[in-house]
Structure 1
Amino acid sequence: MFKVKYIWLLLIFIGLTACSNDDDSGEPIVTLPDLTAGEANFSNFVTLGNSLTAGFQDNALFIASQNNSFPNTLAEKFALVGGGNFRQPLMNDNFGGIAIGGQRILQPRLVFGGAGPVPLESIIGPVTVTTDLAVNNPTGPFNNMGVPGAKSFHLAAPGYGNIAGVAMGAANPYFVRMASSPNSTVIADAVGQNPTFFSLWIGNNDVLGFATSGGSGVSQQGNLNPATYGGNDITDSNVFASVYSQYIAALTANGAKGVVANIPDVTTIPYFTTVPHNPIPLDANTAAAVNNAYAPYNGGLLQAEQFGLISADERAARTINFTASSRNAVVIVDEDLTNLGGLGLPNFRQATANDLVVLPAASFIGTLADPNNPLSVNGVAVPLADRWVLTPNEQQLVATATQNFNTTISNIAQQNNLALVDANALLTQLSQGGIASGNFILNASLVTGGAFSLDGVHPNSRGYALIANEFMKAIDLAYGSNFEASGNLVNVGDFPTNYSPLLQ
Structure 2
Amino acid sequence: MLALFAGVLLTSCDPEIDGTAPSKGDINLEKYVAVGNSLTAGYQDRGLYREAQLNSYPAILAQQFKLVGGGEFTQPLFEESQASGSGYLTFADFINGRPVIKPVPGAAVREGTTLPGGPALTKYTQPVQNLGVPGISVLTSAMKEYGAINPYYERLLEPAEVGTKPYFQEVAESNPTFFTMWLGNNDVLGYATDGGAPASPLSNLTDPAMFGNIYKNMVATLTANDAKGVLITIPNVTAVPFFTTVPYNALALTRQGQADSLNAAYGSGALGITFKVGPNPLVVSDPSVPARVRQIKSTEYVLLTALDSIAARGYGSKKPLPDKFFLDETEVKEIMEHTVAFNDIIRATAKDKGLAMWDANAFFESIKGGFKLDEVTYAPVFVTGNLFSLDGIHPTPRGYAIVANELIKTINSTYKANVPTVDVTQYRAIQFPGK
**1:436 corresponds to which residue?**
372
**1:118 corresponds to which residue?**
101
Which whole-Å CA distance do the structure 2 matches of 1:40 and 1:80 have between them?
14
Q: 1:290 aligns with which of 258, 262, 284?
A: 262
> Per residue, is there more strand in 1 or in 2?
2
- SS at structure 1 position matched to 2:402: helix
Which whole-Å CA distance do the structure 2 matches of 1:112 and 1:426 have between them?
31
- SS at structure 2 position matched to 1:241: helix
Which whole-Å CA distance do the structure 2 matches of 1:184 and 1:463 have between them?
33
Q: 1:396 aligns with which of 320, 333, 342?
A: 333
Q: 1:198 aligns with which of 168, 175, 179?
A: 179
Contact 2:91/2:431, CA 8 A, preserved across alignment: yes
Fraction of identical pairs, as percent: 36
* CA shift in 2, pair 1:448/1:347, >3 Å: same
Alignment of 1:73-152 (within 5 A): 73-92=60-79, 93-97=82-86, 107-114=87-94, 115-116=98-99, 118-121=101-104, 127=105, 129-132=107-110, 136-152=122-138
Shift of 1:266: 0.6
1:48 aligns with 2:20: no
Which whole-Å CA distance do the structure 2 matches of 1:501 and 1:154 have between them?
38
Aligned-partner residue type, residue 95 of structure 1: S
1:498 aligns with 2:435: no
Aligned-partner residue type, residue 273 of structure 2: I
**2:239 corresponds to which residue?**
268
**1:13 corresponds to which residue?**
none
Shift of 1:113: 2.8
Shift of 1:403: 0.2
Which whole-Å CA distance do the structure 1 matches of 2:100 and 2:227 have between them?
42
- Return 5+ residue gaps in structure 2 as ranges: 1-16, 114-119
The number of residues matched between the two structures is 402
1:365 aligns with 2:310: yes
Which whole-Å CA distance do the structure 1 matches of 2:125 and 2:187 have between them?
29
* CA shift in 2, pair 1:410/1:135, >3 Å: closer
* Structure 1 stretch displaced more, 174-183 or 467-476: 174-183
Question: CA-to-partner distance for each residue in 1:12-65, whole Å, 9 max, x for gaps?
Answer: xxxxxxxxxxxxxxxxxx971111111100100011100000000000011001
**1:10 corresponds to which residue?**
none
Shift of 1:135: 8.1
* Structure 1 stretch displaced more, 458-467 or 229-238: 229-238
Q: 1:466 aligns with which of 391, 395, 402?
A: 402
Contact 1:40/1:257, CA 8 A, preserved across alignment: yes
Alignment of 1:291-440 (within 5 A): 291-295=263-267, 298-299=269-270, 319-323=272-276, 325-335=277-287, 337-338=288-289, 340=290, 346-368=291-313, 377-431=314-368, 433-440=369-376
Which whole-Å CA distance do the structure 2 matches of 1:258 and 1:117 have between them?
41
- SS at structure 1 position matched to 2:406: helix
* CA shift in 2, pair 1:130/1:425, >3 Å: same
Shift of 1:286: 2.5
Question: CA-to-partner distance for each residue in 1:110-151, whole Å, 9 max, x for gaps?
Answer: 335323251235xxxxx5623437784123210000000001
* CA shift in 2, pair 1:262/1:436, >3 Å: same
* CA shift in 2, pair 1:472/1:117, >3 Å: farther
Which whole-Å CA distance do the structure 2 matches of 1:147 and 1:206 have between them?
14
Which protein has the larger Cα radius of gyration, Structure 1 or Structure 2? 1
* CA shift in 2, pair 1:135/1:179, >3 Å: closer
Which whole-Å CA distance do the structure 2 matches of 1:210 and 1:294 have between them?
31
Aligned-partner residue type, residue 352 of structure 1: K
1:208 aligns with 2:165: no
- SS at structure 2 position matched to 1:61: coil
Aligned-partner residue type, residue 89 of structure 2: R
Contact 1:59/1:110, CA 8 A, preserved across alignment: no
- SS at structure 1 position matched to 2:430: coil
Alignment of 1:15-54 (within 5 A): 32-54=19-41
Shift of 1:451: 0.5
Shift of 1:416: 0.3
* CA shift in 2, pair 1:231/1:184, >3 Å: closer
* CA shift in 2, pair 1:53/1:117, >3 Å: farther
Aligned-partner residue type, residue 332 of structure 1: V
* Structure 1 stretch displaced more, 203-212 or 438-447: 438-447
* CA shift in 2, pair 1:274/1:420, >3 Å: same
Question: CA-to-partner distance for each residue in 1:59-100, whole Å, 9 max, x for gaps?
Answer: 001100110000000001111222111111112433242xxx
Question: CA-to-partner distance for each residue in 1:256-280, whole Å, 9 max, x for gaps?
Answer: 1110100000111100111111222
Which whole-Å CA distance do the structure 1 matches of 2:327 and 2:37 have between them?
23
- SS at structure 2 position matched to 1:34: coil
* CA shift in 2, pair 1:359/1:422, >3 Å: same
Alignment of 1:475-486 (within 5 A): 475-483=411-419
- SS at structure 1 position matched to 2:203: coil
- SS at structure 2 position matched to 1:40: coil
Aligned-partner residue type, residue 63 of structure 1: R
Contact 1:179/1:186, CA 8 A, preserved across alignment: no
- SS at structure 1 position matched to 2:101: strand
Which whole-Å CA distance do the structure 1 matches of 2:337 and 2:48 have between them?
30
Shift of 1:378: 1.9
Contact 2:121/2:155, CA 8 A, preserved across alignment: no
Which whole-Å CA distance do the structure 1 matches of 2:364 and 2:425 have between them?
19
Which structure has more RCO (C-alpha within 8 Å, separation ≥ 6)? 2
Which whole-Å CA distance do the structure 2 matches of 1:40 and 1:279 have between them?
51
Which whole-Å CA distance do the structure 2 matches of 1:426 and 1:135 have between them?
34
RMSD, aligned CA: 2.2
**1:236 corresponds to which residue?**
207
- SS at structure 1 position matched to 2:310: coil
Shift of 1:501: 7.6
Aligned-partner residue type, residue 85 of structure 1: E
